[in-house]
A = this chain, B = another copy of it.
Amino acid sequence: MEIDLVAENKQIVLKSYVNGSPVETDMELKLGNRVKLEAPKGSKGVLVKNLYLSCDPYMRGRMQDFHASYIPPFTPGSVIEGFGVSKVVDSDDPNFKKGEFVTGLTNWEEYTLILKTGQLRKIQQDDAIPLSYHVGLLGMPGITAYAGFYEVCAPKKGDYVYVSAASGAVGQLVGQLAKLHGCYVVGSAGTSHKVHLIKNKLGFDEAFNYKEELDLEAALARYFPQGIDIYFDNVGGSMLDAALANMRVHGRVAVCGMVSQNSRTDKQSFSHMFSVISKRITIKGFLQSDFTELYPRFLEDITGFYKQGKIVYIENMNDGLETAPAAFAALFSGKNVGKQVIRVASE
């Protein structure tokens, strides 16, 4: 009966290292792979069926031939690794049982033998919370927003808060948390549809389309005549410079990401770096991985907010593993609207 335990296993592999912004053709669907649907005895691993896969901008860093980063690169020709929500098919780890749902690092394929089970988190199923949220609202982007806002921004009620990439996986939550905290919140994004969602669905006070602004500094001055207390920076580059020009005294910049710089090889140039002194600005970079000890509190708080209807979450669901290359590339052209997720299977 061994035939029952073997399945076809479609995969998404990196074709070759990426320069500039990733495009769909940097990855490809690989057929013909077959997998035994078991966790080998002694492996201590779990064999999972992948349900949802997450497209995250940091993965671009792993598509370069650069080995000195905080995370190693992918290997061209090999399957891509990323966060996912999966169902345990077979387990050689006593902590996990067949049928349980887990989230953590898995591969962009239908089935994965996960050996590093220590990084997996078991999902308590909850009808009120879509499983896919565990790679978004309740996953890595969620803790990024939570830790970034509460631990890095030092927010106070009444603060003027600006969020770039504000409709995205991280930005949408930052802005909503800031509103709950009693801040005045403005977001920016690259389409009028996103601007509409930021104002009307996510409940920011204001939003604007940065692509329609010839002068980012003037745009921010318009939305923040009093200046900015907190800039939650998802994009870097000229937007960061424009924000520096508009910060208030003792303003704080949480540097979360620099997605605008991925396609650039030139230097980032700043006209307003001196503001850091004259306005006593703090610029603080952070990585969510430094805040794992916050996870229990984060899950409790955000689950609570969500169930009480205090926050919403916008997902961009892409159906089928084969959509993954385009879905990933979309992050860098701004085509995703909300958290970019690939549904590989429903259950």
A residues with a Cβ closer than 8 A to B are 69-70, 236, 240, 255-258, 261, 267-271, 273-287, 290
Contacts and interface: CB of A to CB of B under 8 A. Distances in A.
Given A236-B274, A282-B284, 17 more contacts: A240-B273, A255-B276, A255-B277, A257-B277, A258-B273, A261-B273, A268-B271, A268-B273, A269-B270, A270-B270, A276-B283, A276-B285, A277-B287, A278-B287, A281-B284, A282-B282, A282-B283
Contact of A70 (B255, B267, B278, B284): B278
A19 B147 CA distance: 44
B277 A256 contact: yes
B286 A277 contact: yes
A261 B274 contact: yes
B280 A286 contact: yes
B280 A285 contact: yes
A225 to B, nearest CB: 15
B285 A278 contact: yes
Contacts of A287: 277-278, 280
Contacts of A280: 284-287, 290
A140 B269 CA distance: 31
Nearest to A258: B274
A240 B273 CA distance: 11
A303 B22 CA distance: 59
A278 B284 CA distance: 11
Contacts of A285: 275-282
Contacts of A261: 273-274
A277 B276 CA distance: 17
B276 A271 contact: no
18 contacts: A236-B273, A240-B273, A255-B277, A256-B277, A258-B273, A261-B274, A267-B269, A267-B271, A270-B270, A275-B285, A276-B284, A276-B285, A277-B287, A279-B285, A280-B284, A281-B285, A282-B282, A282-B285
Contact of A258 (B267, B277, B286): B277
Contacts of A258: 273-274, 277
A340 to B, nearest CB: 20
Nearest to A281: B285
A266 to B, nearest CB: 8
Nearest to A71: B278
Contacts of A275: 285
A90 B259 CA distance: 64
A324 to B, nearest CB: 25
Contacts of A277: 255-258, 285-287
Nearest to A282: B284
Contacts of A256: 277
Nearest to A249: B70
Contacts of A236: 273-274
A69 B274 CA distance: 11
Q: Which 9 A-B pairs have the closest CB atoms?
A: A276-B285, A267-B269, A277-B285, A269-B269, A283-B283, A282-B284, A268-B273, A268-B270, A267-B271
A261 to B, nearest CB: 7
Contacts of A278: 69-70, 285, 287
